Amino acid sequence: MEAKHQILIVGGGNAGISVAAKLLKKDRKLDIAIIEPSEKHYYQPAWTLVGGGVFDIKNTIRSEAKLIPNGAKWIKDAVSELLPSENKLTTKNGDAYEYDYLILAPGIQINWNGIEGLEENVGKNKVCSVYGFDKAPYTWEVVRNFEGGRALFTSAATPVKCGGAPQKIMYLASDYFRRQGLLGNTEVHFMNAGKVLFGIEKYRKSLQKVCDRYGVKQHHRHNLIKIDGQNRTATFRVTDGDGNTSEINETYDMLHVTPPQSAPDFVQSSGMTDAHGWIDVDQYSLQQVKFKNVFALGDATNTKNAKTGAAIRKQAPVLVENLLALMSQDEIQGAYSGYGSCPLVTARGKVILAEFDYSGKPTETFPFNQAKERRSMYFLKKKVLPWMYWNKILKGTA
């Protein structure tokens, strides 16, 4: 089958649905189709809380059909190839769609096969991860049944969605161990492929104090490369200050893994990606650098913000403004600031709300110091933000 739509949106996740809803709010007559294979839509930011035993996984899932905005057509299929020089794409079902304008919002791909032994062990053998609807509940099972010993929490060498999540689950677990009286005979290790605990100094200082409270030992430039589930041993590639590498083995009694991530495979051959495989857009206008009738937002782009839903909330109105300007042959003026936000859960009932933009400067919403751990910000993370997501963000009104 062949069909054509004025605007095609690839991906009906956080970004795709938000942008479709916002476009239709501006103009009900737009001909918009969303290509999305999944019947389920997930509120991923709560998976960390699920892993920490404070959120029900069932409340992170809704039917995609109910979220497609009125006026948009849902094509329940997956894109297999993008052909931007023909203004066309093809799908897994063998159909082809043409478009006048294309919006790419396919999210991130989790590469469970990117670490030797991960795919076979994750979800069993005390190897867990909050990076998956089907995996987050096992994380809580591992934390809840932990009896002391060595708890390892890794962060990845690639960009990941919600760069704070690897730490949030570590703090939630540590807080649980503390409450159970287990911290005394537990070693918590943060095995970080990056160079620092957190990129923004203001929040790093507060997070350092949180690590000190739980006795977390930090190991930077330690990249997980192999898991031996049977012998409960993880291998890390360690890079020293001069760039020399070596390998070390660490035993564990629980291992929380942040898997390597990338833009989805099908965008790689599109001619629209940068050298690292992310969709290449102007970081302010969100317009694809080569194909001017293509825009992209969300986790799959190469903008240098924190890959979060919070970033999408600021990207979506800019993209909509710029696309509508292009369609009316006006000048593109909307500029995304690089805003991203990370509610860093540091304990049950405590959150540091990090907010910052491309400049790396904090851009805080509230009139108090957000680097301080606060109960009110925990309430925001656990109650207000999920409500906002389902009722405002996906409806295009926030």
Ligand X SMILES: Cc1cc2nc3c(=O)[nH]c(=O)nc-3n(C[C@H](O)[C@H](O)[C@H](O)COP(=O)(O)OP(=O)(O)OC[C@H]3O[C@@H](n4cnc5c(N)ncnc54)[C@H](O)[C@@H]3O)c2cc1C
Specify whether the CB–CB gap between 190 and 197 falls below 8 A. Answer: yes
Told to check if 14 binds ligand X by CB under 6 A, we report yes
Told to check if 36 binds ligand X by CB under 6 A, we report yes
Question: Interface with ligand X by CB under 6 A: which range of 12-20, 53-61, 221-229, 368-376?
Answer: 12-20
| Tokens, residue 261 | 């991530």
Specify whether the CB–CB gap between 210 and 198 falls below 8 A. Answer: no
Site for ligand X in 341-360 (CB under 6 A): 341, 343
CB atoms within 10 A of CB 58: 8
Query: From residue 124 to residue 163, what is the string marking binding to ligand X with x (rule CB under 6 A)?
Result: ------xx-----------------------------xx-
> Active site includes 211?
no
Told to check if 377 binds ligand X by CB under 6 A, we report no
Burial annotation 275-305 (CB, 10 A radius, 16+ → b, else e): eebbbbbbbbbbbbeebebbbbbbbbbbbeb
Structure-derived torsion over alpha carbons of residues 216, 217, 218, 223, reported in degrees to the nearest 10: -110
Residue 231 exposed, middle or buried by CB count within 10 Å (0-12, 13-18, 19+): exposed
Strand partners, 161: 307
Told to check if 264 binds ligand X by CB under 6 A, we report yes
Told to check if 263 binds ligand X by CB under 6 A, we report no
Residue from 108, 118, 323, 342 carrying the catalytic annotation: 342
> Active site includes 128?
no
Query: From residue 305 to residue 344, what is the string marking binding to ligand X with x (rule CB under 6 A)?
Result: --xxxx-x----------------------------x-x-
Task: Quote the least distance from Cβ 168 to ligand X, whole Å.
Answer: 7
Told to check if 79 binds ligand X by CB under 6 A, we report yes
Told to check if 16 binds ligand X by CB under 6 A, we report yes
CB atoms within 10 A of CB 205: 12
Specify whether the CB–CB gap between 305 and 268 falls below 8 A. Answer: no
The residues annotated as belonging to the active site are 162, 342
What residues line the site for ligand X (CB under 6 A)? 10-16, 35-38, 44-45, 47-48, 78-79, 105-107, 130-131, 161-162, 165, 264, 266, 298-299, 307-310, 312, 341, 343
